Amino acid sequence: MIENIHPRQITLVTCRAEMEIMGQNVEKDNLFTLGWHTPLSETIYGITVLKKNYSYKLISKSRCFCVNFLPHSSGKDADFCGNNHGEHQDKFKATGFSKSDCSTIDCCKLSEAVAWLECEVENELDYGDHVLFSGKILKSLENSKLKDERRLFYLGDGKYTTTLE
């Protein structure tokens, strides 16, 4: 089945929550690569998250997330974020991605993204090892500096492509 649905647009989802780390409450930002996402209606966006991922804990606690649509040049960093755990590593520092605060939710977004969806979790459905979070889109923004950039699509096997002009 997987081979038949590629290419898929790749996003980086950002999330934030206060977590207990070594006995202290710390605000933690994370980002993760996601190909399993879709509009569910004009105002609802769905993302599926592996339950064992650290970001699942952050989104479950904060009840919000930001979907960051990437330019084609971000393939290497998307791979890194998809293959490294965020609980003990700062993926923002490791990739060089810049973050700024979202305007409607307590979360960050990537300055390098082509567009963003700021979402508040409305529902979650359990699908065994994954959860489908449906988020109400509170704000949809386009990066005016990058609006003409082509977006990143995943072909499988660590290969990426983009759209034609």
- At 100 the pLDDT is 95
**If we measure between CA atoms, which residue out of 7, 108, 10 comes closest to residue 62?**
108
- At 121 the pLDDT is 98
C-beta of residue 15 within 8 angstroms of C-beta of residue 59: yes
Encoded amino acid at 8, one letter: R
Token couple for 20: 């207990």
pLDDT (mean) for 52-76: 94
The CATH number of the domain covering residues in 2-157: 2.30.110.10
Q: What is the pTM of this model?
A: 0.92
Identify the three-state secondary structure at position 131: strand
Q: Reading across the β-sheet that carries 130-142, which strands appear in turn?
A: 24-34, 11-21, 64-69, 115-127, 130-142, 44-50, 37-39
Token couple for 31: 């980002």
Query: For the chain, how long is the longest CA-to-CA vector?
Result: 52
pLDDT (mean) for 80-84: 86
Q: What is the pLDDT of residues 107-157, one digit of tens each?
A: 999 999 999 999 999 999 999 999 999 999 999 999 888 877 888 888 877
pLDDT (mean) for 87-114: 94
Token couple for 101: 């605060």
